[in-house]
Structure 1
Amino acid sequence: MTGTTRSSADLDPRRRRILVRAWRRGIREMDLVIGGFADAEIADLGDAELDQLEELMAEEDADIFRWVTGEAETPERLRTALFDRMRAYVPDFEPQQNTSQGPASKS
């Protein structure tokens, strides 16, 4: 997985901006967690949740990494349902396979 798998064509400017920032974190692990979460959820987040996501993304990646992994306690102000959903998000590291052609035949 090298980046977003989601088109931003159907998103408003704020969601597009957040999606780009979610995939350009600086620490690859945070790209995958925050970016993957944003791919999956961005279209359905309400304004308050977008505010929470932007507040979280303003933090240092190393801190977010420690909070997501449980290495450090998450600050009270960031302990939200949105953070819990993001923390529980597990990126799909398996490449998509084209199954429409069926198994390859051997000659």
Structure 2
Amino acid sequence: MQFICRRSAAIVRQSLIGCHKSRLLSTKGNSSDDQNHDIYDPVSNEPEIPSSLRQRLESIDMKKKRLLYQSRKRGILENDLILGNFANKYLDQMSDKQLEMYDLIINMPSNDWELYYWSVGRKEVPKEMSNEVMDLLIEYTKNRDKEVRIRQPDV
């Protein structure tokens, strides 16, 4: 009896997943109704929050906190140090437009090494990433004042 229940549960689960996938595929092609449907990442089944919606839901203070956290917790230590110290120094002074630029800079590249190479000048910055905040980051990375930046700033 227990085997049948487990198998029944598995069949129900599979059919629900199949229904969910067909619903997902049928809603992706709709016109203006797309905004009203949940859109899921096909790999993780996690709901995706569109950046325009995130911008409306996120206060400036929360955005600064998120960007500071994301700057400190990167994939590689080099970026942790550069971006963590950069964010600690400049985030409070940035306008909303500059915060959006910084958000784009740290969250668009899929490879942290690309961001590192752009900031230290080993690779040319792509046009879509080239803006005043990237210029400020590149200048900050040159460390003309010879500041010691071997640890993360205090939280």
| TM-score scaled by length of structure 2 | 0.51
Q: How does 1:60-99 map to 2 (within 5 A)?
A: 60-89=111-140, 90=143, 92-93=148-149
Task: Find the partner of 1:38 among 81, 87, 90.
Answer: 87
SS at match of 1:13: helix
Gaps of 5+ in 1: 1-10, 96-107
Query: How many Å apart are 1:93 and its aligned residue?
Result: 2.7
Distance in 2 between residues matched to 1:57 and 1:94, nearest whole Å:
20
SS at match of 1:40: helix
The answer to which of 83-92 and 71-80 deviates more is 83-92
Task: Find the partner of 2:70 among 21, 25, 30.
Answer: 21
Distance in 1 between residues matched to 2:74 and 2:88, nearest whole Å:
14
Identity rate, percent: 25
Superposed structure 1 runs of 4+ greater than 3 Å apart: none
Which of 1 and 2 has higher RCO (CA within 8 Å, sep 6+)? 1
1:36–1:94 distance in 2 versus 1, CA, 3 Å: closer
Richer in helix (by share):
2
Query: How many Å apart are 1:92 and its aligned residue?
Result: 2.8
Query: How many Å apart are 1:94 and its aligned residue?
Result: 6.8
Query: How many Å apart are 1:73 and its aligned residue?
Result: 1.0
Task: Name which one, 1 or 2, has greater alpha-carbon Rg.
Answer: 2
Residue of structure 1 equivalent to 2:15: none
